[in-house]
Structure formats: C-alpha cells, structure tokens
Structure 1
Amino acid sequence: MSKEISQNLIDRFKQEYNGRKEAKVIERTVTKNGILNSSRNLAADVQSTPVFSIDLDTGDVANQKQSGRCWMFAALNTMRHDMKNQFKVPGNFELSQNYTFFWDKFEKSNWFYENIINTAELDTDDRKVAFLLNEPQGDGGQWDMLCALIEKYGVVPQSAYPETYNSSKSREFDTLLNEKLRKDAVTLRNLVNSGASRTDIDERKQQMLSEVYRMASYSFGEPPVQFDWEYRDADQNYHREAGITPKAFYDKYVGWNLSEYISIINAPTADKPYNQTYTIDMLGNVVNGRQVKHLNLAMDDFKQAAINQLKAGQSVWFGCDVGQHSEAREKGLLDLDVFAEDELFDIDLSMSKAERLDYKESLMTHAMVLTGVDLVAGQPTKWKVENSWGKKVGEKGYMVMSDAWMDEYCYQVVVQKQFLTEAQRQAQAQTPTVLKPWDPMGSLAYQD
C-alpha cells in the first residue's frame, strides 16, 4: 500500500532543516541569486584557459540562431574547414545550411509518410505509432542523415542560397508542417485500412509531398538547380564558377568520400557491448538513403580516434549533452566543476554514464566541432570546441571542454576509418543490431 506524507514526517523534516546552522544563510543566497549563481565555481575558469597543444585554424564561428540545425552546422563546418585549407576561401565563408535544411524537411516528410503507411494496421496508441505522431519531423538530426542529404542533393555556398526568416527561426514552419503531417497521417492510415492499392496510396502521397515542397519553397526559397559562385581567396585572387550544380560543387570543392567517415559512439550500457555496431529502427530522413550506423567503443578508444584525426589537421564532428554541468551560453565552459549544486544542497547526484542513459537523465542534444586538444604527456586534458551559437559565446564562439566532461557527456564522434585500428574497422563493417526507436542512441542533435 502506498504511504502518504504525514504531518509528523513534515515536522521532522522542519526540525532537521532548522538544525542546520548554515540553512538560513544558504536559503537567503539561493532565493536571491538562484541555484546556478549560488553554486558557481570560479576555479573552473582557471583550469579552462583556451590554450591547446593542437589548435586548428578554422575561421569564424557560424550562428544557427533560433533553429535546431546544430548537426548541419557542425557537419558543414568540418567541410568548410577543409575548403579553407585547400582553396583559401575567406574565414567567414559558409556552406548553405538553409539548402540542406530545405531538403531535410522535404525528405523527413516522405520518411514520416512511409513509416505511417508501414504501421497503419497498428492502433494509434501503439508505442511505435505514438512515437511517430509525437513529433512527425523536427530540426534535429545525426551525421549519417546529413550524409544522406549530401549524397542525393550536394551542397551550395551560402551566397547561392542564403538564410531566410524561417530557416533562422524555424518554430513557425515546424509547427505548421507537423500539423499537416498529422492530418496526412489520418488520410494515409484510412487508405491503408480501407484496402486501397499501393498505387492509389502513392498517388495521394505524391500530392501531399507536392504541398510540402510548396510550403518549404515559400518559407526557405526554392533551392537552386545550378548557380554561379565567385569569391576572392585569402590572397585576394578572384575566382568564378559559372553554372555549376550542387552535386558538382560538392565533388569539386569538398570532394570527401563520405563512406569513409563513420560514427563512433560511447554508450556504456549493458545492452550495447563495445566493438559492435548499432542502428535505430525508424531513424533517418532519406528513404533508401544512407543508414544511421554507430560503432560503440570504450571511451579511451573513442577519444584516441578523435585525437588521431586532429593530429592529421582535420576537425571532428561530435555530439554531446551540452546542457549538463556547463556554463555554455556565456563563458563557453563544459566542465564538471563549473557548478557545485550537490555541495550547495548537500545531496548526492552521482550517477554513472550508463545509469544516466538508462534512467533518462542524459542523452545527446547538441552537435559541435572539435578543433583542438591539449595533450599533456600524451593524454588529453581539455578540448577546443567550435560551436554554432555566434561569436558572443566563449572565446569568439569557441568553447573549452574538460576531458572529464567529455568522458561523462560526449556520446558521438565522426572520424575517417583510417584513424581506427584494423580490428575497429572490421568491427565497424559488421551488420548492425537494430535498436528500438526510442533508444537514447537514436536521439537527435537539435539544441539551439
């Protein structure tokens, strides 16, 4: 039988509280200043000086503004870093995040429709159907989803397809599109359950997609089929490329073989043994496009792969839980010691990384770029992070992440296969175990 809170118990708690000589001092401090200000540890600033033994020159920091496109910004930033080295594009050059955003919205709509059709015979309160309907599409994503878009549509410079109101402030569009997708789900489920042919269902779905294309074009602009690009490089030499297509632009100016770039995760939960691969049911954007696939490695191996790529002069896409134990919005500090809430309240908040994942305390929420690391006696002590929140955060947009924080709250890095061991490459080639749609390793980077 459940037990209620008795008045005697409350009286006991009051006595215990007032028996603490520091209670009223802390009460006055916290009620006046808030929890974070009252527990701020300035010692974290000292140990997070922005100096690194390996420090890549990657140019100006971008700004995703009020949108959940961090995964796109981070991925396109790693590519523009390479373009900066190869073609001397100016430091403020950016690839168009609006372009990949348009096609992601369009493809995610089709992905949703297909999943609705495939689950149409299940009740709407079935967990899979409820999962789909909870958020038919959103701004978030993962590395492999960005690769699927690029492999199909290429990329363009931001000058050829600039930002719009709706790409920088995506909530209005997302709300309307999700309303439409749920309405369309009613129609598609009714068609399937009434015995309509797949031909009839596809014809209706195509009408729906035509409407999505129109909504996206009105909101983001219709994406270019080909475009002209001109720029002056860092040496002030003039360059012009006329009539190039997005895919040809990617091939010529980025040129990465995306199949060589793989996702590594650190998920120390009992259901995911290390050195095995995983995918997530119903996670993706491009139907028949690149599959989301993760190789799970122990943290030391996870970090070593990132260090190997940084040593080779290439930045690293990574995913983390940015809001945990961090002063990320102003100082740009990702450090376990930045706040001492447990000491302030005299409570034990300790959980293992696996426990935080299993008990829904943490998961990946944000993607950024590793552009440096400080190695002492060959071991990392802190990492340089390029964010996409503009130049006002941290050191002109760059943040400092302690190695201990990485251990606890980093979940994903993307590296080239060449920076793995042979055994790790063989493990990555395995057929992945399929995880449930709501598994924490299927979380999407979306933080704005």
Structure 2
Amino acid sequence: MTSTTERLSATTLLRFATAGSVDDGKSTLVGRLLHDSKSVLADQLEAVEHASRSRGQQAPDLALLTDGLRAEREQGITIDVAYRYFATPRRRFILADTPGHVQYTRNMVTGASTAELAVVLVDARNGVVEQTRRHAAVAALLRVPHVVLAVNKMDLVGYEEAVFAAIAREFTAYASELGVPEITAIPISALAGDNVVEPSAHMDWYGGPTVLEHLETVPVSHDLTGCPPRFPVQYVIRPGTAEHPDYRGYAGQIASGALRVGDPVTVLPSGRTSVITAIDALGTPVDIAWAPQSVTVRLADDIDIARGDLIAPTATAPATTREVTATVCHVADEPLVPGQRVLLKHTTRTVKAIVQEIPSRLTLDDLSQHPSPGRLVANDIGRVRVRTAEPLPLDSYADSRRTGSFLLIDPADGTTLAAGMAGDSLTPAAAPAAPADDEGWDF
C-alpha cells in the first residue's frame, strides 16, 4: 500500500502568490481555499471560530486563518507576507499571501519573486483599479509565468456574466500588453465558496475550472538544468587536517544548469580559468550535480576565490559589467535619486555602487514611460542606471530570475531600497577594475 508520504513525494510543487487591493477578499479566498480543501487543522478552525464569535460574527471569518499578526487582526488588513503550506492528492503548494494595501506593495515583490503563479483579486463592484494594475506590473516584471484573475464578490453583483466579462477583458488587455504570457480569469465568491474549490451553482454560464482545479493542473516546471550553469560561491572550505592537508573546496547552491567533473570553467569576475576535478554532494563524490543542489566544487588550479565569486562553464560564462541598466521596483520609504550611494547585492556578492541616472518611471494607467522623473518613491517602477565599484557577472533577468536579479541596499542601515531586474543590454566591462577606496565612492 502506498503511504501518504510516498504519494506526496511523487506530486509536483507549485509556489504561488496572492495579491489584491484592500478589502477585495484576498485573505478570505485563502482561508476558503484552505478550509474547503481540508487543509485546516481542527484546533486552527476552533480558534478562528472563537475569534469570530468574540467579534460578534455568526460564521467563522476565514480571513483569520492567514492574517496572523495581531495588528492585522485588529485593523482587518494584511500587513506581512504569510506563507502557508498545504497539499491535495494531486499537488503540493507553497502559498505566499501578500498584502493588498498600497503601503505594503514592497511585500508583494518578496512573495512573488519565487512564484510560478500569481492570483490577482479584483472586487467585482470596483473592477480594475490602480493597485490591480500595479500588481499585474509587478507580476510581469518578476516574470511570473501564470496569472489568475479572480473576480471576487460576484454574489454582490448578482452573479452577472456581463460584469465578469468586462473586468476580464480589461485586465487581460492590460496584462497582455505588459507581456504576461498566460492569463486565466475565474469568477468567484470567496465568502460563499463559489468556484473556489467547488463549482458554483449560481454561475452556470461559466464552464472553466475552479481556483483549486486550476492550481492543481496548471503546468509548472522546476527543471533549471537546461539553463546556462551558474554557481555562486558561498563559502571556501579549507579544513587543513592531516587527512586532507591540501583540500580546497568551494561551497554553494547551484543557481541554474548542471556542473560535471571535467568541465572547463571560468571564475568571475577575475576571469581565471580552470577545470572541475571533483564535486561533493552531502560529503559524497558525484560526477554531475544540478540546480538547486548544494554542493562543494573542487578545481584543478589553486585560484584566489572568495565568497561572491561566480563559477560558470567557460563556453557560456556571462560577461561582466560595471554599468548596470535595469528595471527596479522601489520599496523603501525614502526616495531613490541620481547620485545616491548604495550597495548592490547580486547572488552572494555585495559591492558598492552609485545611482547614475533614472531614465524613466512607468505610468501604470497607460503603461507609458515618464522620462527623467528625477526620483523614484515607494512603489514606483522605473528604469535605473547604476555604476558599480567592481564588475559583476549579471545575466538578463529574462534568462535567469536568480542571476539576473539584485537588490539595492542603503549602506548606512542595511535597508532594502529596491529590487532590480537586469535588462538585456548590459555594457561589458573593458577590464576588471580595482575595488573602490573604502572612503570614496567616486568610481
């Protein structure tokens, strides 16, 4: 007989994020999804029922299953990203319930950065609003391959097909122009449970899948072995024992692709070359390793390698650059301005940098570019040009979500300023540059 553990190990994993404006019913949808899929423990449901009664509500408020912070429960809004893990016989899920309030859009970037699917909620009474467009833009920028438009509160508009169709057309046209590859629109009532887990008896005009059915069947692939191999070094291992006096290994997680013993490789940003002589996975020698395995790699040559260096096959090694042109989502309260000194964190490497120019800011209403805005404020999406103190081996974000992304950080207090997605046009560095002086930022 097949055990539950064996069945779950054979199912695929889907990471998805939810987003929507305040009071669109996002937390209620997540709660309904967990409740109706039998993914809520009895004591959790009892706690929700007790909290609901204490607030004078007759039925359990399923939104309380995800709004876990005390401030969230008191204000009735989602503030933090709440991660939930659940499973059905067909698939395992990691759900990131992200905030809807415009003040916390930065947290949606966190929740959607690793998602294969995003569920964007719209209140059927309000239709597509600015925050809906912002969430669609973030999903597009983060290259989320599947987007579900959940038109919620259909019970409050009489389950009218025309209302749903108009919202679906507007959102689909907008998201398609952003470049979202796949959009699925589903009419739901999270409060009543229509089309969340079970098909609705009130919308016989809709013949598509329920939310859960779509989540269970949408095609996902975690195969990164077809991508160019990238291995950011996290740690240099030199035990110096009598048994292994000359052991020097480079530990980290393979970001993409596969590494093989015998592969000629280049270490970036230095440009030094060598050959992989051994790969250790969990202390066991292997001939091949692939993403996202954590391994230790040994090379034929004694090269100066430190945390933050990138090992890649010589034939497909990325070019290094000090001139980074990228799209960023600004997440800090303080504005980002030209001339600002920042730290740029790319994989395991952090370097000094200066914001040289902000060429444009995205206007969400019509997707036009506002030229030379002078600054980016919280939740703005715009293009920036950054010069780094040291060359970086950046890929295009379109090719790799891992090695094409970076963070801009405030060097004074470590606050994250912006999440960046490198563009396709990077200016190669002419030659490796010397590190910037500790006191100066003029590079």
Q: Tell me the TM-score range normalised by the shorter chain.
A: under 0.3
Q: Which has the higher strand share?
A: 2
TM-score, length basis structure 1: 0.27
Structure with bigger RCO (C-alpha 8 Å, 6+ apart): 1
TM-score, length basis structure 2: 0.28
Q: Which has the higher helix share?
A: 1
